[in-house]
Amino acid sequence: MDPEALSAALLAVVTPIAEARREGASAGLTVADLPLERPKNRDHGDWASNAALKLAKKVGAPPREFADEIAAGLTAVDGIASVEVAGPGFINIRLEAAAAGALAKTIVEQGAAFGTNDSRRDEVINLEFVSANPTGPIHLGGTRWAAVGDSLARILAAQGAQVTREYYFNDHGAQIDRFARSLVAAHEGRPTPEDGYGGAYIGDIARRVALAYEGDIDALDGDAKQEAFRELGVNFMFDEIKQSLHQFGVDFDVYFHENDLHESGAVERAVQRLRELGHIYEADGATWLRSTEFGDDKDRVVIKSDGKPAYISGDLAYYLDKRERGFNRCIIMLGADHHGYVQRLMAMCAAFGDEPYVNLQILIGQLVNLVKDGQPVRMSKRAGTVVTMEDLVEIVGVDAARYALTRSSADSNLDVDLDVLQKRTNDNPVFYVQYAHARTHNVARNAAASGVDRSEFAPELLTHETESALLGALQEFPRVVAFAAEVREPHRVARYLEELAGLYHRWYDNCRVIPLGDEPVTNLHRTRLWLNDATGQVLRNGLTLLGVGAPERM
């Protein structure tokens, strides 16, 4: 019996009891009103519910009395071994071994589909992340967003959402001009401009531009020369960024060019739409968005008095463009230095007639620090002042890097200990999880060599306490993935996998799949092989959601 089946059984029991207590009390009652959770103390059973406490007032009954009635009804449900009422009305449910163990076969048969559903099929999501300026390699903050963003996209898709990964290509504005001037200076052997970009990569890109330019680039005058270095340099830099991301396991569906917003008339269309909605006004020779009406701390200039678009104009045009492309959820991942932008972006969303935090959602990521030998790692050989994605991957590999950056909440600062990530011990969380998966395959290989197969399945034999705990954790996987999607937090999947790996290792130490010596192969061995393979499947499914490999041997 999986959590969905138990929830349905609980609803079937509660509905007539509630209606008998008070006419109409069962109207609109759903499984969402009847929470189930795993007790922290397994002595309390397999599942617990506070449904009686939650609904007591609605049905007009004392919680404990209401809970007793629910418990009596649940006791008659096939697959439930016992039900107890504790405290003021908590309901503790213990499943029969066969009902709990049946999950192992379900998982193996569902395979990669276990943990997926179509509950978010109506969500058409534009997930914008990384979007690093094409002025240098991706630094650690962008690397964190690459890992978290791609994992979130996988998790949302696993719940039925239509997800488009989008990279906002900032190829317009002052930073690109500074990048171009830096390339020209490197080419001419001059020092980096005071506001320019340093690092060995600037010299590399400058040399590539000079070689790729058709003609004599030094024959160009100042403006033309800078434009040549800008156009070719940005393309070379962005090609490097895309290649780095691809090697990191992250590929985007759309690369959206900021410059297109300004050349296509998208800014003007966005301003006109807001003008039609009554939220644009003119003052002091400039065009303003009346954003204070929607919670912003001040109105925002959209078109400056000199006729040039202000920074927010691109945001207006870009958001409207996404909505016109059919996305009903626009999720944007921003760095910690953009925290102040959230309120104005939500005001923008409301001004277009949309619902803030629903149609537009902003995720803020905090800083990442690398630590080695107890000291922070600050410098990159190639980028100079920052540590890059390539630096991290070179030291620990893609799997360890992605896992380390995803296993903690993105809205908290993160210290990544390189010494730990390079260890092949249980101290290294990615090794711990991957080793558990590899161990399930090793057990399966040894089982096959010993004549243990899955020809029989007797779940009622899975009675060892470590089997109960392992099955309980396996039941949780779909709920963990669904909740990670709801709250946009991939780290919940990683932490779940670590817990599951620990339970599997303990089960492995206590329960044999392969007979000892001349012992005959029994249905217990065969059934435990189902449980072993089910655990491997869930570990594999979870690692796949994080974009991390699931090795069969280590």
Of 178, 217, 114, 133, nearest to 478 by C-alpha is 114
Q: What is the pLDDT of residues 17-33, one digit of tens each?
A: 999 999 998 898 998 88
Of 224, 245, 238, nearest to 169 by C-alpha is 238
Alpha-carbon distance of 425 to 410, in angstroms, equals 25
The owner of tokens 């435990």 is: 528
Alpha-carbon distance of 362 to 345, in angstroms, equals 9
Q: What is the pLDDT of residues 216-238, one digit of tens each?
A: 999 999 899 999 999 999 999 99
Question: What pLDDT was estimated at residue 378?
Answer: 75
Alpha-carbon distance of 49 to 476, in angstroms, equals 15
Alpha-carbon distance of 9 to 255, in angstroms, equals 48
Alpha helices in 22-62 (DSSP H): 51-59
229: which 2 tokens? 């270095």
Alpha-carbon distance of 54 to 262, in angstroms, equals 54
Q: What is the pLDDT of residues 155-197, one digit of tens each?
A: 999 999 999 999 998 876 678 899 999 999 999 999 999 888 8
Cross-strand partners of 329 = 125
Alpha-carbon distance of 239 to 46, in angstroms, equals 52
143: which 2 tokens? 């690397």
Is the pLDDT reported for residue 385 higher than 70?
no
Q: What is the pLDDT of residues 487-515, one digit of tens each?
A: 999 999 999 999 999 999 999 999 999 99
The answer to whether 392 touches 370, Cβ cutoff 8 Å, is: yes
Q: How far is CA 102 from each of CA 408, 531, 533, rounded to the nearest angstrom?
A: 33, 9, 13
CA angle at residue 106 from 104 to 111, to 5 degrees?
Answer: 100
The alpha carbon torsion through 173, 175, 179, 184 (nearest 10 deg) reads: 60
Of 508, 506, 498, nearest to 539 by C-alpha is 498
Is the pLDDT reported for residue 381 higher than 70?
no
Q: Is the dihedral of CA 71, 75, 80, 86 positive or negative?
A: positive
**Element (H or E) spanning 532, and its range?**
helix 523-545
The answer to whether 498 touches 437, Cβ cutoff 8 Å, is: no
Q: How far is CA 91 from each of CA 49, 95, 147, 149, 407, rounded to the nearest angstrom?
A: 5, 13, 40, 39, 33
Phi, psi of 402 (to 5 degrees): -60, -45
What average pLDDT is seen over the chain? Answer: 93
Of 453, 464, 433, nearest to 514 by C-alpha is 453
Classified as helix, coil or strand, 524 is helix
Cross-strand partners of 255 = 167
Q: Side chain identity at 472, as an amino acid letter?
A: G
Instruction: Give the pLDDT mean for 434-453.
Output: 98
Most confident of 146-150, 335-339, 367-371: 146-150
Question: What pLDDT was estimated at residue 54?
Answer: 94
Q: Is the pTM of this model over 0.75?
A: yes
Task: Return all residues near 478 (Cβ < 8 A) that are at least 6 apart.
Answer: 2, 3, 4, 114, 115, 117
What percent of the chain stands above pLDDT 70? 98
Instruction: Give the pLDDT mean for 114-121.
Output: 96
Instruction: Give the pLDDT mean for 262-266.
Output: 89
Report CA 229 to chain centroid distance, whole Å: 37
What confidence category does residue 522 fall into, taking pLDDT thresholds of 50, 70 and 90?
very high
The answer to whether 132 touches 145, Cβ cutoff 8 Å, is: no
Alpha-carbon distance of 395 to 383, in angstroms, equals 16
